[in-house]
Amino acid sequence: MTPGLDHFLQRSGGDADADARAPWQALGTRTNCERLVGQQLRLRGFQVFDPRVPSWSWRGGVRRPSARPLFPGHLFLRRERDRAGALPLLGARGVLGVVPEREIESIRRVLDALLTPVPHPYVPDGRRVRIRRGPLADVEGFLQDTLAGRALLVLSIHLFRHSVAIEIDRELAALA
């Protein structure tokens, strides 16, 4: 767990009424502690987004399905509603900063469409496109050409400079 997070969690609370306008913030954790930290934050009234992708692991000589973090050492959270006297998120130890809603929503839509994004070198800018139709309609990202008729849609979290990519049909993309 991130040093000092216990103190942060003890002073923070939350109500059950969700405030959709609260900004998403990125929290840095120790690698492989994302799930534990996420559970603790949920119990304290935070909405947590810990994107995971399917993978395989070996335990006791047996190959088993599991899930690995899409962004190791990071998770996203927002307050459901501020309470008077609660410690503000920004400036707390481990909180990296605000992440735009569209970046979170793009990652969420890809995972909801049961696509498995793969890590990709960070892409700060490039040919920005918007998907025109299908389960990813209106998702924006950067397009990188690959084989004939196929392309990579690269989604970036600019705050901590990580990108992931999925392969798409080039015909689905339009310049944004």
Q: Which CATH number belongs to the domain containing residue 159 in this structure?
A: 2.30.30
What local confidence, expressed as pLDDT, does residue 91 receive?
Answer: 59
Exposed e or buried b for every residue in 5-41, given b needs 16+ CB within 10 A?
beebbeebbbeeeeeeebebbbbbbeeebbeebbebb
* Domain end point (choices 69, 99, 129): 99
Nearest alpha carbon to residue 46 among 26, 67, 61:
26
Res. 4 pLDDT band, cuts 50 70 90: very low
Domain-embedded: residue 113? no
Is 93:5 a contact under the CB 8 Å cutoff? yes
Per the structure, the complete domain to which residue 132 belongs is given by 118-175
9 and 66 inside one domain: yes
87 and 19: one domain?
yes
Q: Are residues 17 and 94 in the same domain?
A: yes
Whether 145 is covered by a domain: the verdict is yes
The encoded tokens of residue 120 equal 């990709």
When pLDDT is averaged across residues 53-71 and rounded to a whole number, the result is 91
Supply the pLDDT for residue 9.
Answer: 37
Note the pLDDT tens digit of each residue in 87-109: 456 656 788 889 999 999 999 99
**Boundary of a domain, candidates 71, 99, 127:** 99
Q: Are residues 9 and 88 in the same domain?
A: yes
Average pLDDT over residues 140-146: 87
Which pLDDT belongs to residue 138? Answer: 92
Number of domains in the chain: 2
List the 46-49 sheet strands across, edge first.
46-49, 74-79, 24-28, 95-99
Instruction: Report the half-sphere exposure of 95 (CA within 13 A, side-chain side).
Output: 20
For the stretch 16-41, pLDDT in tens is: 344 456 889 999 999 888 999 999 99
Same domain, 89 and 169: no
Q: Are residues 13 and 82 in the same domain?
A: yes
| Whether 125 and 59 share a structural domain | no
Answer whether residue 110 is part of any domain: no
pLDDT score recorded for residue 89: 63
Tell me the pLDDT tens digit for each residue of 147-168: 777 889 999 999 999 999 999 9
Region 130-137: mean pLDDT is 91
How far from 113 is each of 40, 117, 135, CA to CA, in Å? Answer: 28, 11, 6
